[in-house]
Amino acid sequence: MRHERSRFSLFIRHWLFAAMACSPFLLYGCNYAGPLLYAVQPEPTLDAQFTLEDRTTVVFVDDRDGLLNPATLADVIADRASEELMINEVVTETIRPRDAMALARSRDQHTNLMSIDTIGETVGAELIIYVEIRSFAESRDQYTPQPTGSARIKVLDVVNNTRIFPADDSDTGDFYIVQTNLGNIDRELYKSASTRRKIRETLALALGDDIAKVFYEHKPSDLLGERLESK
């Protein structure tokens, strides 16, 4: 009962404050209806771009242009995407990405690259989410931290040797583009090697998140960039 009374008292105080703020004797404008209505509306959700079948899946990150520094960020991206797929119950079993990528590195030759299907088949995957890094940088002008990354992805059915996403008649072509932007970061974070490394790691995690979100319904309020704080 005490809890109900305190809530009612708090409501009265807020109502009186709003009424006073809207008094004609005050010079400041009053527009409480908009914020109050916005606060009670549920956050919209974004649909999955494609529904994966619940089959053994591996995420394979290809950084053949060497855009990731250090190269182990490919593992960070792939591991994060795999974890999110399982946490959000998109698939129940994934193969450790670094095993597939290590296999490809060990067998690839400059003139004879291991095919994606062969990689998936060798590690025992039925589906392979192929991720090709297209851009990855913590700054656009080498001065202001604006971490951005992009990748193009596709999903292959290893068993049937077919691409299942994007569809053949898709407007996106053979690949679906994923773009990640952490926004403007405190410039102090760009002044030391350790904090710049943290920016890249956070960007890799965010890109992994965004890759996984292609395959499940989600809310667009991911603020990973705010995890970067000056130290």
What does the pLDDT look like over 36-54, one tens digit per residue? 555 556 678 888 999 999 9
pLDDT tens digits along 128-180: 999 999 999 988 777 777 899 999 999 999 999 999 999 987 777 899 999 99
| Band of residue 185 on the pLDDT scale cut at 50, 70, 90 | confident
Q: How far apart are the first and last CA of the chain?
A: 46
Nearest Cα to Cα of residue 94 among 60, 45, 135: 60
In whole angstroms, what is the distance from residue 85 CA to residue 92 CA?
8
Coil/strand/helix, residue 149:
strand
| Per-residue pLDDT at 204 | 97
| Band of residue 66 on the pLDDT scale cut at 50, 70, 90 | very high
| Per-residue pLDDT at 20 | 44
pTM of the model: 0.76
| Per-residue pLDDT at 191 | 78
Q: Are 156 and 127 in contact (CB under 8 A)?
A: yes
- CA 169 → CA 83, 101, 173, distances in Å? 30, 30, 8
Q: Are 147 and 225 in contact (CB under 8 A)?
A: yes
| Per-residue pLDDT at 144 | 75
pLDDT tens digits along 19-32: 444 444 333 344 44
In whole angstroms, what is the distance from residue 103 CA to residue 121 CA?
12
| Per-residue pLDDT at 176 | 96
| Per-residue pLDDT at 113 | 77
| Per-residue pLDDT at 109 | 59
| Per-residue pLDDT at 226 | 46
- Is residue 33 predicted with pLDDT exceeding 80? no
pLDDT tens digits along 84-129: 999 999 999 999 999 999 888 887 655 577 888 888 999 999 999 9
Q: Report the DSSP beta bridge partners of residue 94.
A: 57
Coil/strand/helix, residue 188:
helix
- Is residue 80 predicted with pLDDT exceeding 60? yes
Contacting residues for 169 by C-beta, under 8 A, at least 6 apart: none
| Per-residue pLDDT at 142 | 73
- Is residue 72 predicted with pLDDT exceeding 80? yes
Nearest Cα to Cα of residue 201 among 151, 150, 138: 138
Indicate the pairing of strand 145-157 with strand 162-165: antiparallel
Q: Are 150 and 180 in contact (CB under 8 A)?
A: yes
| Per-residue pLDDT at 87 | 96
